[in-house]
A and B are shown apart, each in its own frame.
Chain A
Amino acid sequence: GQQLNQSPQSMFIQEGEDVSMNCTSSSIFNTWLWYKQEPGEGPVLLIALYKAGELTSNGRLTAQFGITRKDSFLNISASIPSDVGIYFCAGQLDSNYQLIWGAGTKLIIKP
């Protein structure tokens, strides 16, 4: 089936650092969604993107819909301890109305 490659799989960062993660595919997407999941809880929608090239922010988070429509990026600036969790991307294929999910990026803050 269709796949999204989400990277990195995990990140160890210092508080205050900027963070970047991305999702890529060989397929074209119409919509990109970014979610955050904290342990034992349901994923929470952070940002939704609908147009190629679109750049959208939500506080310290910024996400971009890649120009080729095959990728998306999420950046977190000046990370803080409450940023820890798993970040998932999800994309809606041009050819199918279903969402395809990335495997997640686990963000861990170094003590």
Chain B
Amino acid sequence: DSGVTQTPKHLITATGQRVTLRCSPRSGDLSVYWYQQSLDQGLQFLIQYYNGEERAKGNILERFSAQQFPDLHSELNLSSLELGDSALYFCASSVAGSYEQYFGPGTRLTVT
């Protein structure tokens, strides 16, 4: 158990809908990262937050947004969902100044 929690574990929704994925980092970690992993693919970095502020952006679509709250939990919002958005979404966290990222168990999103 990495100490990073993600909810929900599974999510099934229809095209055009909007969903919110939630992540709680390890205690004491200030950085949160979001990744997308499509079937049998590698990890695509989406976005990083550090202590509530956006720190870096990867290949994140405009339909996707994220935020980190004062209690350091983070949410990833996915809107106008398309079939191709079906994937595993991972959250990871790290302590300040470290590159070692610890991953949550993921949320499996299925868009039908």
Per-position 1/0 for A54-79, Cβ under 8 A of B = 00000000000000000000000000
Q: Please measure, in the bound complex, the distance between the C-alpha atom of A92 and the C-alpha atom of B56, giving whole angstroms.
A: 14
Q: Say yes or no: B43 contacts A44, CB within 8 Å.
A: no
* Residues A33 and B100 in contact in the complex (CB < 8 Å), given A42-B90, A98-B56: yes
Q: Separation in Å of the A78 CB from the closest CB of chain B?
A: 27
Q: Say yes or no: B45 contacts A98, CB within 8 Å.
A: yes
Number of chain A interface residues as a range? 20 to 34
Provide the residues of chain B in CB contact with A85, threshold 8 Å: none
Q: Separation in Å of the A44 CB from the closest CB of chain B?
A: 7
Q: Say yes or no: B102 contacts A99, CB within 8 Å.
A: no
Verify if B101 is at the interface (C-beta below 8 Å from A).
Answer: yes
Q: Please measure, in the bound complex, the distance between the C-alpha atom of A31 and the C-alpha atom of B104, giving whole angstroms.
A: 22
Q: Please measure, in the bound complex, the distance between the C-alpha atom of A98 and the C-alpha atom of B57, giving whole angstroms.
A: 10
Q: Please measure, in the bound complex, the distance between the C-alpha atom of A40 and the C-alpha atom of B102, giving whole angstroms.
A: 16
Number of chain B interface residues as a range? 10 to 19
Q: Say yes or no: A101 contacts B43, CB within 8 Å.
A: yes
Q: Say yes or no: B100 contacts A48, CB within 8 Å.
A: yes
Q: Say yes or no: A101 contacts B99, CB within 8 Å.
A: no
Verify if B42 is at the interface (C-beta below 8 Å from A).
Answer: yes
Q: Say yes or no: A33 contacts B99, CB within 8 Å.
A: yes
Per-position 1/0 for B37-80, Cβ under 8 A of A = 00000110100100000001000000000000000000000000
Central interface residue in A90, A99, A101, by most chain B CB within 10 Å = A99
> Looking across the interface, which residue of chain B has its beta carbon closest to that of A99?
B99
Central interface residue in B43, B104, B105, by most chain A CB within 10 Å = B43
Q: Say yes or no: A41 contacts B106, CB within 8 Å.
A: yes
Q: Say yes or no: B42 contacts A44, CB within 8 Å.
A: no
B residues whose Cβ falls under 8 Å from a Cβ of A? 2, 4, 42-43, 45, 48, 56, 88, 90, 92, 99-106, 108
Question: Besides A42-B92, A102-B42, 19 other CB < 8 A contacts?
Answer: A31-B99, A33-B99, A33-B101, A40-B106, A42-B2, A42-B4, A42-B90, A42-B105, A42-B106, A43-B43, A43-B90, A44-B2, A45-B100, A45-B101, A88-B42, A88-B43, A98-B56, A99-B101, A101-B42
